[in-house]
Structure 1
Amino acid sequence: MKHMSFFKNNFLPVLLLLFCFELTYALQPPTPPSGKVWVLNHEMSDEFDVNSPDISKWNVFDKGNSWDRTSAFDKRIHEAVKDPNSDNYYLSMNPMWYYEDERFTSSGGRTYNFAGGGMDTHTMQTYGYFEVRIKPSDFPMGSGVFMNSRGTTGGSCNQKYATELDIIENMGYTGPGAGSFNNYQHVNSHAKPYSDASGSCETIKYESTNSGVSGKPLEKPLDFNTVGMWWKDEDTAEFYNNGDYFGTITPTRDFYLPMPIILTMETYGWGNDENNATNPKPVEWMFEDSFRSKEQRAVLYDWVRVWKLTDIDATVLNDGVNNVKGLVETINEYPTNKLSATVIYSATANKNVVATLYDPSNNVLAVQNFEVTKGVRSIFTEFNLDSDLAIANNYKIVFEIKEGTTLLTSDTTIVNIVTKPLEKKLWRDGIPTSLVPGFNTYDIDVKYETDVNSTLVIEVRKPDGSWFGGGNKNVTAGNGVATVTINTPQVTTVAANYFYKVYMYRQGMDWRDPLNVSISPTIYFNVEEPITPSISITSAPTEFKQDISKIDVEFNYATTKNGILNIELINNLDQVVASETRTERIGSRTLTRSVTLNSIINPGDDYKITVKFSPEDGSFEDLIDTVYNVNVTGDVVSVDDFMNSNDKMSIYPNPTKGALTINLDVASMVVIQQIEVFSLDGKKVTSFNLEEKKSSSVIDVSQLEKGVYFVKVITNKLVYSKIFIKK
């Protein structure tokens, strides 16, 4: 894809380099009204890259933001993932099943066993075009994009309400129990009124309407789709799918409150928790790779683009005139190495638009060149420089429209780089997510900035939200790191899912200060012994039969990093005959994992079971523990033994095209329980569980490819085997 300079895969401009971009408009918003042009709202738009999510744009939801649904929110599920076939990055939300020690109960009494994710933009907008490119997950959790007012309208309790517009609610799940809700772009509007009928001002039942707009079937249910909404005015929201209009909603009340863009991966709760929008509620086994791979479980977001309409003078900017005009005449910016601006152009045919950044001495710092087509549009351009621009007035960006090398006209935007004033800000960096038990006093460092003398407060809360301790410290105007001593009423013991509330208000006031600032989302922490990376097997089979389908291995592990766990069953030739690989998370816990045996295991008393943990960032050496002298017992001792016909078993016809009859010449108390078929390399290709237990059976092998196979017959006493040929 090739898009505007803000868009993906375009540029990393450095000083004095020239770049050329071809603009394509397949993904532009709908045609604007006369006398207006669409302008990108950069603060709400995101192309997602290797560093996503960008917390300067997004509030990333965590446990404390969880709604009353079966799925919690957990910021850990968000990550940037690279497209395997390009340099493009997506924002991934990949659900997680909680370990037992990670589970928590909300103040409302709901216990969360698994988590999805969500985030919303810090910046809000009223009216405009909102568009997201999204790839649903093949998992029973929703892929959502919507907008929701953070506040309410004014007026008395009975007059006020909040608002919501749903751009897509959908599930892409295709597995067992998949519902009728799936694979559609469902759209809706919700007004959320209040009432004082009960004696206090409380929310009452939503007023919802889709104005009869049916959900739009997704053209590619498990691939990327572009979903959009043109919020035209307080009464009108038009909806689009891959650029095509499909319906208009008129909300039940006037929608004029500014709203952020919200991205979620969540369960749905209408009907009841078990309904989940006509889909099964996720349970533990669904999070196994054998059911859905990590890639299948993830929702992917490619980009978010938000546009707003700006007035233009149609007498000087129209498709019959070649012209350029900076959106603003002057930009006042703080020192930065990323300087952005918007230019509006009109072109009678294909032309070049050039943006050149000059310093106050008129030296060229950077140049960008755009190939544009006929029409009136805007270009959002961002210069990425090697270092911050120095404080000075009269930098300038000169916009030119050219035909070839011939200048047709130009316009200039003046840029002043000014000193950044102090703000009230707090950073979560450095606040510990683990405390050592056995103390009732802790020193917590908090990075801050404030324009007036302020009080910095840390409250410690239990998982249910109740108070457990806290502390505060006065700081003077400026910036730095303050050490806040927190005290708890009793010595701490090992516990999980405590959290801090960190905020700052002006000295002489309290938490009700309207200029109060806080860290969001809430920072969760555990009270736990310091973790030293280690692993040890606590329980593993030292003897099992060769026809067993799986073995369970219990182990303790402790890690300060996420990583890959690998469990292997290894024979005396150091060959891996069975293995299980999974991702395990930070922590210290005891787990049991199963290893599935899909191939023939030869008997022997010198097998070993190895458990290995490898940190994903290589920050410490692999952790390994091994159980030796594992004994595998059975009657089929090797592939060679398959070659020796068993006197007690006969099979016919051999070769066969389909039906294969198996007879055992054994005592009547011996009955067949299961029949398995293996390829010559020992891989199981099919199996048959017999409801009627007797000493003979007929199986259908017509679906097998032509070739030579082993048939393995498992009885209540012994195991028998023979070779057969499939014609």
Structure 2
Amino acid sequence: MKMYPAALKNKIIILAIGLLGAFGYAQPPKVIGKTWEKVEKLSDEFNGKKIDKSKWNIDPEGHYELNWIGRAPALFQKESFDIGNGYLSIEVGKLKKPYVENKKYDKPMIYKYHGGILRSYKKTSVGHYYECRMKMNKTEMGGGFWLCHRGTCENKNEIDITESVGKLTEKTHKWAYDWDQIMHSNAIHRGSTCVKQVRDQKKMAPPTKNSERFYTYGFYWKSPTELLFYLDGEYVYTLNPPVPFNQELVLQFSIEAYDWNPIPEVGSMVATASKEDRTTLIDYIRVYKLKDN
């Protein structure tokens, strides 16, 4: 495949920062005249024995604003979460018996597998830096680190800091050929009966598959029109939202199913892999705000 100069330069940079990220933690970018202060209500090292329920909600229907239960065929459930050895973990797997949701959607939804979603109680907005060090599971399910809110019919926005899956299959949609080795970010002005959906999105390729080692994904919400993204502490690209993003959003981490990477009915990693391979690990989530020196 032909490699253009810009792509080659980007590949060299990413290989270099990949080596750096393997040995150290990333840090927020420097801002002249200001310093970063950690927002404790949105940060967690996950060193305790239990999930801090004053910060995080893991009940898919227990949040004060958001109550999505997951994209069929994978149900969000709080039982998928655990904490230990300094990590928050989300285990995927096959449900003991299918669950059918008859009330929430236009048609019945059948859930055969499980994942999980973590949501912050505190909201956040422009002027913050967000960082998560995590290792993806090795199954057909995936997800990542993102922000969203209920919003209104005219104005509902979402920022995906990173998302990926653990394994591709023969049924994976062709455009998603690289989603097991990717940093993909979205700035989505969601569509509804009131407005048409529009977005800005970019992606890049880390040195290894997302499930092979920990990566540190960062996002600086510099302004309503400038979203800067980082991998292992190094800048990789900027998104320019289609409308100004200045609302307060809920911070989230989810592992879910995607219709463009369908889970095989027989022999899926979700159903057959070891617990270790079915588990996504989150080392930490850290959020910072700027303050004057």
Alignment TM class, shorter chain as reference:
0.7 to 0.9
> 1:92 is matched with which residue: 89, 92, 99?
89
1:98 alignment partner, SS class: strand
Q: RMSD of aligned C-alpha atoms? A: 2.3
Structure with greater helix percent: 2
Single out whichever of 160-169 and 231-240 deviates more from structure 2: 160-169
1:79 pairs with 2:76: no
Over residues 50-90 of structure 1, what are the superposed CA-to-partner deviations in whole Å (9 max), with x where a residue is unaligned?
Answer: 434211101113366314432111111001132xxxxxx21
1:207 pairs with 2:198: yes
Over residues 20-40 of structure 1, what are the superposed CA-to-partner deviations in whole Å (9 max), with x where a residue is unaligned?
Answer: xxxxx95320111x2211110
Structure with the larger RCO, 1 or 2 (CA within 8 Å, 6+ apart): 2
- How far apart are 1:242 and its partner, in Å? 0.6
1:124-135 equivalent positions in 2, closer than 5 A: 124-127=123-126, 128-135=128-135
The separation in 2 between residues aligned to 1:288 and 1:311, in whole angstroms, is 48
- How far apart are 1:91 and its partner, in Å? 0.8
Q: In the alignment, what sits opposite 2:13?
A: none
Larger Rg: 1
> 1:293 is matched with which residue: 233, 255, 274?
274
Q: In the alignment, what sits opposite 1:163?
A: 157
State the TM-score, normalized to the length of structure 1. 0.33
Q: Are residues 218 and 70 of structure 1, via their aligned partners in 2, closer, same or farther at CA, if it must alter by over 3 Å?
A: farther
Equivalent pair of 1:57/1:123 in contact (CA under 8 Å): yes
1:482-493 equivalent positions in 2, closer than 5 A: none
- How far apart are 1:311 and its partner, in Å? 1.4
Equivalent pair of 2:139/2:269 in contact (CA under 8 Å): no
Q: In the alignment, what sits opposite 2:15?
A: none
Equivalent pair of 2:93/2:278 in contact (CA under 8 Å): no
Q: In the alignment, what sits opposite 1:103?
A: 99
Over residues 420-462 of structure 1, what are the superposed CA-to-partner deviations in whole Å (9 max), with x where a residue is unaligned?
Answer: xxxxxxxxxxxxxxxxxxxxxxxxxxxxxxxxxxxxxxxxxxx
5+ unaligned residues in a row in structure 1: which ranges?
1-24, 83-88, 195-201, 270-274, 313-727
Give me the identity figure in percent. Answer: 28
Q: Are residues 47 and 282 of structure 1, via their aligned partners in 2, closer, same or farther at CA, if it must alter by over 3 Å?
A: farther
Structure 1: which amino acid aligns with 2:222? K
2:284 alignment partner, SS class: strand
The separation in 2 between residues aligned to 1:293 and 1:251, in whole angstroms, is 40
The separation in 1 between residues aligned to 2:68 and 2:51, in whole angstroms, is 17
Count how many residue pairs are aligned between Structure 1 and Structure 2.
256
Q: In the alignment, what sits opposite 1:140?
A: 140
Equivalent pair of 1:145/1:168 in contact (CA under 8 Å): yes
Structure 2: which amino acid aligns with 1:28? Q
The separation in 1 between residues aligned to 2:25 and 2:274, in whole angstroms, is 33
> 2:284 is matched with which residue: 303, 308, 320?
303
1:196-595 equivalent positions in 2, closer than 5 A: 202=193, 204-210=195-201, 213-219=202-208, 221=210, 222-269=212-259, 275-276=260-261, 280-283=262-265, 285-286=267-268, 291-312=272-293
Structure 1: which amino acid aligns with 2:205? K
5+ unaligned residues in a row in structure 2: which ranges?
1-23, 62-66
1:180 pairs with 2:178: yes
Structure 2: which amino acid aligns with 1:129? Y
Structure with greater strand percent: 1
Q: Are residues 58 and 203 of structure 1, via their aligned partners in 2, closer, same or farther at CA, if it must alter by over 3 Å?
A: farther
- How far apart are 1:181 and its partner, in Å? 2.1
Q: In the alignment, what sits opposite 1:189?
A: 187
1:30 alignment partner, SS class: coil
- How far apart are 1:236 and its partner, in Å? 0.5
The separation in 2 between residues aligned to 1:52 and 1:183, in whole angstroms, is 31
The separation in 2 between residues aligned to 1:226 and 1:218, in whole angstroms, is 13
Equivalent pair of 1:184/1:218 in contact (CA under 8 Å): no
State the TM-score, normalized to the length of structure 2. 0.79
Structure 1: which amino acid aligns with 2:204? G
